Amino acid sequence: MREDILRILEKNSRIGIDELAVRIGADEIEVANEIKAMEAEGVICGYHTLIDWEKTSIETVSALIEVTVTPQRGQGFDVIAERIYNYPEVQAVYLMSSGYDLLVNMEGKTLKEVASFVSDKLSTLDSVVGTATHFVLKKYKDHGTILAKKKTDEREKLVL
């Protein structure tokens, strides 16, 4: 049941528990309890909204920053990762398998804001050896959702 719930919630976190229960053929109370349990366990970490900021008048700049660091004895990458992810403008931090160590996704209002974050905050951290900043020019697809265009139903209206 957990997987069924998660697969649906991942696509639509606003679904009502009644509809969710009907769709997976389970009892409403059981589904509610399961969701609560998963929230408590941290399996479900949050309910967010996917926004295509480009379609708003609000300016945002998004960047992917490759960060190379010196891991610290006994602590590996975790301490430096924490120092980075604590910045609220940082959206995501991943430990990577090769080429560089941490991939940081950050969002700012302007190019300048991102640039100064990298030069003032990120690069100056003790264990950071180098950074490479890539600005996102356009988001075509995010979180499994195509942002570029909406799908329309082009089928004939009646087909036997």
Partner 1 sequence: MRDPLSAVTVSLKPSGIRKFFDVVNEMPDAISLGVGEPDFDTPWHVREEGIFSLEKGRTFYTSNSGLMELRKEVDTYLTRRFGVSYDPQGEMLITVGGSEAIDLAFRAMINPGEGEEIIIPQPSYVSYEPCAILAGAKPVVIDLKAENDFRLTAEELKAAITDKTKILVLPFPNNPTGAIMERKDLEAIAPIIEENDIYVLSDEIYAELTYTDAGHVTIASLPGMRDRTILINGFSKAYAMTGWRLGYACGPKNIIAQMTKIHQYAIMCAPTTSQYAAVEALRNGDKDVEEMCDAYNQRRRYLINTFKQMGLPCFEPFGAFYIFPCIKEFGLTSDEFATRLLMEEKVAVVPGTAFGNSGEGFLRISYAYSMEALKEALGRIEHFVNRLRESI
Chain positions contacting partner 1, by CB under 8 A = 7-8, 19, 22-25, 153, 155-160
- Number of CB atoms found within 10 A of residue 51's CB: 12
Contact 63, 114 (CB under 8 A): yes
Query: Toward partner 1, which CB reaches closer, 24 or 79?
Result: 24
SS3 106: strand
Q: How far is the CB of 83 from partner 1 (least distance, A)?
A: 40
Q: Residue 60: phi, psi to the nearest 5? A: -140, 150
Q: Shortest gap between Cβ of 16 and partner 1 (angstroms)?
A: 11
Smaller CB separation from partner 1, 15 or 32? 15
CA 60, 66, 67 angle in degrees (round to 5)? 115
Closest approach of partner 1 to the CB of residue 32, in Å: 17
- In the complex with partner 1, the residue whose CB is nearer, 22 or 136, is 22
